[in-house]
Amino acid sequence: MKIADKNTKAVDLVREALEKAKEFEDYHCFISMNEARALERAKAIDEKITRGEKVGRLAGVPYALKDNYLSREGVTTAAARMLDNFPSPITATAVAKLEAEGAIMIGRANLDAYAHGSSTENSYFGPSHNAVDFERVPGGSSGGSASAVALGIVQFALGSDTGGSIRQPASYNGVWGMKPTYGTVSRYGVVAMASSTDVMGCFANTADDVDLVMSIMAGKDPKDSTTLDDFWNKELEDAKPKKKKIGIIKDFMGDGVNPEVVNTVKDYAAKMKKAGFEVEEIEMPIMKYGLAIYYIVQPAEVASNLSRYDGVRYGHRAAEITDLDSVYSKTRDEGFMPENKRRIMIGNFVLSSGFFDAYYLKAQKARTLLINAYNEAFEKYDALLCAVAPAPAFKFGEKTNDPLQMYMEDVMSVPPSMAGLPALAAPAGKSKDGLPIGIQLVGPRKSDQMLLNIAKTIAEVK
C-alpha cells in the first residue's frame, strides 16, 4: 500500500486517485466525489510530515466509502431516493478510526439502495459496472466499492456485508474481500439493514492491505453494544491454523454450480494440499436451508429498520400530501426502490400475527441448527472452503425481473452470515471468458486473521 512519507506526497496520491476516478467515470463506481475536502486533508498530512510530526498508519491513502456509512463530509444517501440529500450529523466509528490514521475518503461508492441487492442494479442513481467486463454487473450490494478497487482508483474501499455484499462483489471483480466475525467492527453510524447479520469490512488488492485496514477498524465501541473486544491485534501465533485441515463443502459443488467455478475450487484445494493442508469433503445438509432462513430473518429485520423512514423525521417527504396517512404512504412509495418494498412486505408478513410462529420463529430455530452444524465442523477443521457464488458475474438485466434467481446468487454466502462467522473472499481463477472467480474461506468466530494467513500461504503456491 502506498503511504505518504518524505518521498511520497499525500496530495499526489489523492490527485492520482481523483484522476483515475474521472478516467473510469463511465463505470459509475461513485455516487458523489469529495475532491476539495480530500485535497485539503492531504495537504494537511504533507505539512505534518514536513514538520516531522507523527502521522497515521494510513497517511494519505485514498479510499472509497460505501455510501451507507455516515460521514459529515458530503451527504449519506445509501443509494436511495429517501436519503437523496441527507447531511449526516455524525461520523461512523469505522470511518473515524480510519481517518484518525490518515486515510482520505475521495468519494462515496455506489450500492444497491439500502444495500438490498446482489448487482448494484437497485441503486436509485443507476448501476455500477464490473471492472473486468463493462457489460456485466459488479455484484452487490457493495458493487461500487469493489469496482473502484479493481480498477485501481483507490487502494482500499469500505463495504458492508449482510449476506454476501462484500464477498460476492470481490469475487466478481477479482479482489480480496473480508466479512469479519459479527461484532468485530462497530455498526455505529452505518445505515442499518439486518441488524443481526450486518458487518463492516473492506476490499483491497492484497491480503496484507485487508489485514491492515481491518486491524484499524476492529475493536470495542461503547456506542455499539454488539461489538467485541479487539481480538484482531493479537499475537501472530494465535492466528495460525492448528489442525492443518480444511473441509470442502460438498453441498456447494453439485447441481446449479457453474463447472468452471467447481474446477476453480478444486484447483484451490489442490494448492492447499501442496501447502501441507489435509483437504477432504464434508457434507452439511443444513446448507440447503440457509437461503430460506436468510430470506425470512433478513426481511423481518429490514422491515423493522426501514420503518423509521416515514417522511416525518428526516429524509424525503412526498410533495402532494393531504393527511398523515398520505405522508406515510406516498413518501414510502416514492422513497423506496421495488426491492426495498419487496423486502418490507415479506418482512411484515413473516412477523404478522398468525404467521410469526410458522415462519420467523421456525427460521430462527433452523438458524440455531445451522450454527450448531458449523460448530461441529470446526471441531475437526480449521476452515471450510467453497465458492463465493454459483457462477461468475452475470450481464445487466439478466436477473433483474426474477427475484428468486437473484436471491440464488447468495446461496453460498448467506450461511456464514447467519452464523456470525468470518468469511474471506480471495481471487482464485478466471473463467474461459476471463471473468474473475473467487473462493470463500469460512472459519470459527474470531479466526479472521487465520483465514487471511491461510489464503496468503496458498497465494504463494505455484
Q: Which residues, in sequence order, are CB contacts of 12 under 8 Å at separation 6+?
A: none
Distances (CA, A) of 39 to 61, 108, 149, 157, 344: 12, 15, 20, 18, 41
CA–CA gap between residue 333 and residue 331 (Å, rounded):
5
Identify the three-state secondary structure at position 116.
coil
pLDDT (tens place) for every residue of the chain, 462 residues total: 999 999 999 999 999 999 999 999 999 999 999 999 999 999 999 999 999 999 999 999 999 999 999 999 999 999 999 999 999 999 999 999 999 999 999 999 999 999 999 999 999 999 999 999 999 999 999 999 999 999 999 999 999 999 999 999 999 999 999 999 999 999 999 999 999 999 999 999 999 999 999 999 999 999 999 999 999 988 666 788 999 999 999 999 998 999 999 999 999 999 999 999 999 999 999 999 999 999 999 999 999 999 999 999 889 999 989 999 999 999 999 999 999 999 999 999 999 998 999 999 999 999 999 999 999 999 999 999 999 999 999 999 999 888 888 999 999 999 999 999 999 999 999 999 999 999 999 999 999 999 999 999 999 998
User: β-strands 423-430, 176-179: how paired?
Assistant: antiparallel
CA–CA gap between residue 198 and residue 241 (Å, rounded):
26
Q: Which residues are catalytic?
A: 66, 141, 165
The whole-model pTM stands at 0.96
CA–CA gap between residue 185 and residue 219 (Å, rounded):
6
Identify the three-state secondary structure at position 401.
coil
Distance of CA 215 to the CA centre of its chain: 16
Rg (CA), the chain: 21
Q: Are 387 and 261 in contact (CB under 8 A)?
A: yes
